[in-house]
């Protein structure tokens, strides 16, 4: 099977760019979701780079399933947990007791999501260098 890890990492970078564009446009719910996607794809890229398959969308789990040979900063798992909260609720109106997703997310959320996704992507890049 060909190594597609660089493709996954490249797409993670584009998703992070989408998150930044959405944040600037005030679409904070989409910024949060795009940041989650960026981090998820980056971690999957690292799994592929290491010759592993990775399934699912839970970033914290994907990070914790990396081999022990990867010196993973523990705070990245915590940051992954925060990003995991944006996978469904940032997109679906029935994820909150009331109100559409855009009513539940603002600049604090999107800034944090983009920051954490950026850290995860940089970690993956350093491991794949």
Residue reference for tokens 């789990």: 61
Model confidence at 1: pLDDT above 90: no
Give the mean model confidence (pLDDT) for residues 38-53: 97
Domain that holds residue 71: 5-128
Helix (H), strand (E), coil (C) string for 61-93: HHHHCCCCCCCCCHHHHHHHHHHHCCCCCCCCH
What percentage of the chain exceeds 90 in pLDDT? 98
Mean pLDDT, the chain, integer: 97
User: What are 74-124's pLDDT values in tens digits?
Assistant: 999 999 999 999 999 999 999 999 999 999 999 999 999 999 999 999 999
Confidence of residue 2 (pLDDT cuts 50, 70, 90): confident
What total number of domains does the chain contain?
1
The CATH number of the domain holding residue 16 is 1.20.120.330
Q: Specify the pLDDT at position 71.
A: 95
Q: Specify the pLDDT at position 28.
A: 98
């Amino acid at each position: 099977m060909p190594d597609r890890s660089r493709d996954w990492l490249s797409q993670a970078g584009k998703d992070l760019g989408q998150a930044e564009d959405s944040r600037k446009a005030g679409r904070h719910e989409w910024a949060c979701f795009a940041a989650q996607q960026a981090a998820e794809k980056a971690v999957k890229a690292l799994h592929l780079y290491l010759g592993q398959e990775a399934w699912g969308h839970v970033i914290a789990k994907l990070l914790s399933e990396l081999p022990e040979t990867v010196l993973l900063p523990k705070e990245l798992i915590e940051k992954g947990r925060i990003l995991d909260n944006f996978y469904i609720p940032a997109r679906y109106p029935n994820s909150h007791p009331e109100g559409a997703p855009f009513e539940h997310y603002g600049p604090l959320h999107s800034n944090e999501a983009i920051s954490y996704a950026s850290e995860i992507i940089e970690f993956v890049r350093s491991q794949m260098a």
